[in-house]
Structure 1
Amino acid sequence: MRTALLAATAALLALAATQTYAQTASAKPDPNSQYDERPAQLDLSHQGWNYEKRVVDIPMRDGVKLHTVILIPKGAHDAPILLTRTPYNAEGMTGGAGNSANLAEVLQHSDGPADVILKGGYIRVIQDVRGKYGSEGIYMMNPPPHGTDLNPTDTDDSTDTYDTIDWLVKNVPESNRKVGILGISYDGYLSLTATIDPHPALKVAVPMNPMVDGWRGDDWFHNGALRETNMTYIWEQEATRSNANPWFSTVYDDYDYYMRAGSAGAAADQHNLNQIGFWKKISEHPAYDEFWQKQAMDKILAKHPLKVPMMLVDGQWDQEDIYGAPAVYAALKPKDTNNDMVYMTMGPWYHGQEVRDGSSLGNINWDQDTAKWWRWHVLAPFLSHYLKGTPMNVAPVTVFQSGTNEWHELQDWPKAQANNPLYLKPDGGLGFDKAAGPMQTADYISDPAHPVVYRPRPIPPVYAEGSTWHQWLTDDQRFAASRPDVLTFTSEVLTKPVTIAGQPVVHLNASTSGTDSDWVVKLIDVYPDQVPNDPKMGGYEFPIAMDIFRGRYRESLSDPKPITPNKPLEYTFALPNADHVFLPGHRIMVQVQSSWFPLYDRNPQKYVKNIFFAKPGDFQKATQKVTVAGDGESYIDLPVVSK
């Protein structure tokens, strides 16, 4: 999505420069204007186009107009509308200045399932949200529901979607007055907001990789640890209406940039980020207080009637918004008494890969184009059913099982509950039986001056040219296993498959000599030492589920407290959903560490009120001890599927 955004930004910068020059040039009347051979207004020819492009500024209930691009296939009649609302430039996502006569080419820019949209004959509509690009009004990042203390205005994305759909069904005569909404990431969040108080013409929603809860596990935090590298996104998204002032860095390696800054707050000061409204809100709310709870979309939707059928789409290796879709599914599924309103797909994808080629992810090959299969066997019939009335045979849950590399159709998710303890053992052992003997610990020194990186250096900025940010969740973890501040626990070679389908839950019993600490836990599939058909995969440490937990929230996510030094305490938190088979010949591995830099800000390991503003003297080494035998032995509860 954001690759398209960068391209659109470049186009828009060129357009802005042209407009600025034109305005300057016309500031003084030209006495020779009567001889100008250019027309005052250019009338473009659309000869040979296989679609019609209409650009409309649609008025909302408060008078603000939202810039909207409508693409109508040639000869369309009684056609459904597929709407996407976006902060990422509607003009850029529909071809921009590089308009094409071929609708198929234009749809490639729209960050949607272009093949399904084209073959389905849908009318495609993309709209700038208020305050962005061509739309009027103020901009708020993921605005909370209107009329609340967090958003005292009279509008929000739900009301704007309602007003937009109302205008479309009344003013696009080629339509059948049925509308579906879909989108990825922020646009996925906007697809969810449309269902809060939906227009009667909204018949289906497909939120893909949606932003749902920015504190629990989507863009801004994971369990209280700040996603420091997303500061660049906040700047670019809010600094200007048109993303015309990109974040700059004086170094290539993000490790150097954030390490030299010190704390996240210091990095913000260096970049003047404190003038940005959303950053100020984030830095004032580091804990899971009402600010975050009141705008979490799963909690909001749980309070409203279920009126619109939806298919939630989750990427099992989504490097940006891995939390949201399963959280909404869990919140809404109890309302779906007939099991026919809330659907979910979990595919082996990075963020938004479901609309691209899905044959592989990083070094992992799936033996098929998983995204194409899903689009034609699941998405296409799903949309057609609700927007055209055609029959469908789509399961409530469609999930890809890695390891076997097969699609499965299920009635519900999770398939299994996390109740099979996988124990961390002395001497780096790992198994389903508890260790014998008295209490033992595995120890390491965590030093904020030498944090564990989340991928091998150099680490270019997330959206730098040549960045492989999209695949980092599948990176070989051997680079971390070799560090003395990373504990590694490995099972014996498996003689039979171990299948999991659900959320692994960490039960880490550990102490720290400091008064605060982060804990990172990784569940890994270790390939055999030799893989004859793919030698580079020999011994590959393939991460299945990984996450971080900020220790100060051990007792309460909303009320942080210092950790008692040198006292073994239990830290319990869930890892992302997984549907995976650890095959015979493979081994299961668990890694434990206390930093994941620079993706997440460094914990100073000394309790301070707000880690954003930790001072250089607050950062200190700590001795970490993980219990691996006796009372309180650490383990991961796996959702093992019995056969």
Structure 2
Amino acid sequence: MKKFFLASACIAILASPAFPVRAAPPPGGIEADMPAHFHPVEDGFDFTRRDVMIPMRDGAKLHTVILIPKGAHGAPLLLTRTPYDAAHMASLTPSSDLATSLYGYDNMPDIVTEGGYIRVLQDIRGKYGSEGQYVMNRPMRGPENGTAVDEGTDTWDTIDWLIHHVPESNGKVGIIGVSYDGFTALTALFHPHPALKVSVPMNPMVDGWMGDDWFHNGAFREEMLPYIFDQSGTPKNTAKWWTSVYDSYSFFLDGVSAGAVGRARGMDQIGFFRQILAHPAYDSWWQAQALDRLLPKEGLSVPTLLVHSLWDQEDNYGAVALYYAMSAVPAARANLWLAVGPWNHGGEIREASTLGPVKLHSDTGLFFRRHILAPFLAHYLKDATVPLPARVTAFRTGEDEWGTTAALPPRDCDASCTSLHLQPGGGLGPSAPPPGAGEARYVSDPDHPVPYVQRPVVPKGQPGSEWRWWLATDQRNAAARPDVLSFVSPALTRPFTVTGQPVMHLTAATSGTDGDFVVKLIDVYPDQVADQPEMGGYQLMISADILRGRYRNSMEHPEPIPANAPQLYRLRLPLANHTFLPGHRIMVQIQSSWFPLYDRNPQTYVDSIFLAPKDAYKPATIAVDIAGSWLEVHQP
């Protein structure tokens, strides 16, 4: 009797709806492991997930992942629009716990879960699960985009669908993102949907020619070729850049020019690569896409927090350029905030207690998220009584302290500026040397360019790559080269603080007819650092950039450099906020290559450096006029 009861119970359980009985396999066949439709049991999850295809106005449908905390009611929506695979971003660490699932790029699980937000991740058109055609940094509707859609209209249509189909929400939407996702957070500000209450573009791509991913002042960022290949070759990045050379320095040197390297990889098939080859100068094609030119004309009706990283290895131009552009529009200032931190690209969303090898003595990423980002979002999406952060909150390295101010220093120098003059014999100081103080010379050889990090230059994403922190790497290897000039102050007896954007006024002649100029502002540590001996003598870049000489007079209209004739090169460096401490020294370095971060300048004028033949690359002698060269820096 007992045995019969147990057997009957087992049969009843197996026949219950939770355990469906499979149909018998066909005669002579075998049962398939995979069901036609698999439905995981997720009863223990603290969130529910919805995968939907949201229709756009032109009929394309965009794949969207909606993650809703269990029991959510009247919760705000926090949206990110990305080319980096929304499905993957929603399950970076697969878990029944929402915070764990979101741990990774662009997600900030502490902000999402502690704030009770509904997290929305969407593939932009043409990438991963979304329909339509992908265009790199799709231009806004206008001269370069004659269609009815852009990233702004796609955001509008997405928000409109969300507020009508997610009943757990309160109808308020914030958009947030890093890098490319910061770009889409900016495009949402063009004719914004009324339900969009806040935007947080972090390290955004703003102007790809002037100083973000593709160029800096005309010099092409050759290390970005693999990104363009992977991102624009296929919808799901299934075509991967390859190389059989461990050292990128050797690989790109052997490839001669960036155009030749790209063509050897079949990149002529990629529309964006063809556009780069067709537009090496800052012509109307680039200008019509630059968001720091377009958004001021649109105005700013949505509260916006721009986030900038002082050691951003990819997009250290955009947020600051846009801040200054929008600050010049009186009607926009009321909706403009800025946060500045000691981070690399996207470092603010992670633990950030170090800057490369430099200790910051606190988790600056956590401070940003807890004391700046969280209250900013909460104020506009949940509770208007939550106090807002200051208009500008910035971390000052050296002193390692946060500070607040009403605005950044003016972009151009004023009475708060100090000049650091080059001195004969490699000195640097506040006093201008007399006219005729002489020259400092070096030979720039394109066959032996200055590496931007110590060789071997390991490709981005590979084990041992220094890409994430290359801006904070020790510059002593560069200083030891004969083709790098170093001008150094005496050891400081009191703190010296720089803020704002330094501007280099460099007077130099070259024996060639073209050439690049790299300028670095460097903090030279004392020979001994008691609490961190490995930092003794360290040379930390504080701000640095490059100018392609053919654009010294006009970014739009290049022209040869007259050989052996001194020219003035004015180079605005990225934002700095740093205190040189007593015992430290201030250094300015000058060189003419930064390879393979930037493609080599042949130093012989050619119509397109992208297609320069091997025999165009020639050594050139550079003569820097000491009396005619100085660096202007803002001081608080």
Q: Structure 2 length normalisation: TM-score?
A: 0.94
* Correspondences of 1:61-210 after superposition (within 5 Å): 61-95=57-91, 99-109=94-104, 111-146=106-141, 148-210=142-204
For structure 2, which runs of at least 5 residues remain unmatched after alignment?
1-24
CA distance in 1, matches of 2:166, 2:460: 40
Provide Cα deviations, 1:171-203, integer angstroms capped at 9, x if missing partner. Answer: 000000000000000000000000011000000
State the alpha-carbon separation in 1 of the partners of residues 51 and 489 from structure 2: 60
Distance 1:440 1:114 in 2: 58
Cα contact 2:379–2:388 (8 A) shared by 1: no
Alpha-carbon distance in structure 2 between the residues aligned to 1:48 and 1:362: 40
What is residue 327 of structure 1 aligned with on the other side?
321
Paired position in structure 2 for 1:395: 390
Q: Kindly state the Cα deviation for residue 496 of structure 1 after the two structures are TM-superposed.
A: 1.4
Aligned letter for 1:423?
A: H
CA distance in 2, matches of 1:195, 1:33: 59
Report the secondary structure of 1:344's partner residue. strand
- Alpha-carbon RMSD: 1.6
Q: Contact conserved, 1:339 with 1:396, CA < 8 A, in 2?
A: no
Q: Which residue of 1 aligns with 2:283?
A: 289
2:403 paired with 1:408: yes
Residue 232 of structure 1 pairs with residue 210 of structure 2: no
Judged with a 3 Å threshold, the aligned counterparts in structure 2 of structure 1 residues 58 and 634 are, in CA distance, closer, same or farther, namely same
- The 10-residue stretch of structure 1 (210-219 or 357-366) with the greater mean CA deviation from structure 2: 357-366
- Give per-residue Cα distances to partners, 1:426-453, cap 9 Å, x unaligned: 1101101011352411001110011011
Count of residues in correspondence between the two structures: 608
Distance 1:371 1:181 in 2: 19
Q: Tell me which amino acid in the other structure corresponds to 1:491.
A: S
CA contact (8 A) 1:507 1:634 kept: yes
| Superposed displacement of residue 601, structure 1 | 0.3
Structure 2 CA distance for aligned equivalents of residues 613 and 72 of structure 1: 51
Q: Deviations over 1:571-594 (max 9, x none)?
A: 001000001111111110000000
Q: Match of 2:232, SS?
A: helix
Q: Is the 8 A contact 1:94 1:110 kept in 2?
A: no
Encode CA deviations 1:46-90: one digit per residue, 9 max, x unaligned.
120100000000000011000000000000000000000000000
Against the structure 1 CA distance between its residues 32 and 376, is the aligned structure 2 distance closer, same or farther, given a 3 Å change threshold? farther
Q: Which of 352, 377, 384 is the equivalent residue of 1:383?
A: 377
Identity of aligned residues (%): 53
For the Cα contact (< 8 Å) 2:299–2:331, is it kept in 1? Answer: no
C-alpha separation in 2, matches of 1:33 and 1:195: 59
The one-character-per-residue Cα deviations of 1:268-291 (angstroms, maximum 9, x if unpaired) are 121111111100001110000001
Relative to structure 1, the CA distance from residue 618 to residue 377 in structure 2 (aligned partners, 3 Å threshold; closer, same or farther) is: same
38-47 vs 467-476, which moves further: 38-47
Q: What is aligned with 1:314? A: 308
The answer for the alignment partner of 1:43 in structure 2 is: 39
- Which residue identity lines up with residue 281 of structure 1 in the other structure? Q
1:578-618, Cα deviation, whole Å (9 max, x unpaired): 01111111110000000000100000000000000000110
Deviation at 1:391? 1.9
Partner secondary structure for residue 167 of structure 1: helix
Match of 1:476 in 2: 474
Give the secondary-structure state (helix, strand or coil) at the position aligned to 2:425.
helix
Question: Which residue in the other structure is 1:639 paired with?
Answer: 634
Does the C-alpha gap of structure 1 residues 274 and 37 become closer, same or farther in structure 2, counting only changes over 3 Å?
closer
* Secondary structure class of the residue paired with 1:179: strand
Secondary structure (helix, strand or coil) at the match of 1:320 reads: coil
1:332, CA displacement in angstroms? 1.1
Deviation, 1:417, is 5.3
Q: Return the alpha-carbon distance in structure 2 between the equivalents of residues 481 and 404 of structure 1.
A: 26
**Equivalent in the alignment of 1:609:** 607
Letter of the structure 2 residue corresponding to residue 374 of structure 1: F
Contact 2:91–2:101 (Cα < 8 Å) also in 1: yes
- Aligned equivalent of 2:255: 261
Worse overlay, 198-207 or 418-427: 418-427
What is the CA deviation profile of residues 196-218 of structure 1, one whole-angstrom value per residue up to 9, with x for unaligned ones? 11000000000000000000000
- CA offset at residue 484 of structure 1? 0.4
Q: Is the 8 A contact 1:312 1:344 kept in 2?
A: yes
Match of 2:22 in 1: none
The Cα of 1:335 is off from its aligned counterpart by 2.9
C-alpha change, 1:487 and 1:48, in structure 2 (3 Å) is: same
Match of 2:175, as an amino acid?
I
1:216 maps to 210
Give the direction of change, closer, same or farther, for the CA distance of 1:612–1:462 in structure 2 (3 Å limit): same
Deviation at 1:530?
1.0
Q: Kindly provide the amino acid, as one letter, of the partner of residue 241 in structure 2.
A: W
Secondary structure, counterpart of 1:67 in structure 2: strand
Tell me if the contact between 2:445 and 2:620 (Cα under 8 Å) persists in the aligned partners.
Answer: yes
Question: Match for residue 21 of structure 2?
Answer: none
Equivalent pair of 1:415/1:501 in contact (CA under 8 Å): no
What CA distance in whole angstroms lies between the structure 2 residues aligned with 1:30 and 1:638? 81
Q: Which residue does 1:57 correspond to in 2? A: 53
Q: Is the 8 A contact 1:416 1:501 kept in 2?
A: no
The answer on whether the counterparts of 1:253 and 1:460 sit within 8 Å (CA) in structure 2 is: yes
- What is the alpha-carbon distance in structure 1 between the residues aligned to residue 33 and residue 121 of structure 2? 35
How far the C-alpha of 1:337 sits from its partner, in A, is 4.9
How far apart, CA to CA, are the structure 1 residues paired with 2:585 and 2:468? 26
Alignment of 1:511-526 (within 5 A): 511-526=509-524
Assess if the C-alpha contact under 8 Å between 1:416 and 1:639 holds in 2.
no
Give distance in 1, aligned partners of 2:122 and 2:26.
Answer: 37
1:23 counterpart residue number = none
Confirm or deny that 1:552 pairs with 2:550: yes
Question: SS of 1:259's equivalent?
Answer: helix
Moved more, 172-181 or 354-363: 354-363
User: Which residue does the alignment assign to 2:590?
Assistant: 592
Give the Cα separation in 1 of the matches to 2:344 and 2:520.
Answer: 18
Mapped to 2, the partners of 1:109 and 1:441 lie a distance apart of 51
Instruction: Give the whole-Å Cα distance in 1 for the aligned partners of 2:451 and 2:379.
Output: 46
Deviation at 1:222, TM superposition (A): 0.3
Given that residues 545 and 575 in structure 1 are in contact (C-alpha distance below 8 angstroms), is that contact kept between their aligned partners in structure 2?
yes
TM-score by length of 1: 0.93
> Equivalent of 2:357, from 328, 352, 363?
363
Q: CA deviation at 1:314?
A: 0.4
Report the 3-state secondary structure (helix = DSSP H, G, I; strand = E; otherwise coil) of the residue aligned with 1:504: strand
Q: Unaligned 5+ residue runs, structure 1?
A: 1-28
Shift, 1:113, TM fit: 1.8
**2:528 corresponds to which of 527, 530, 533:** 530
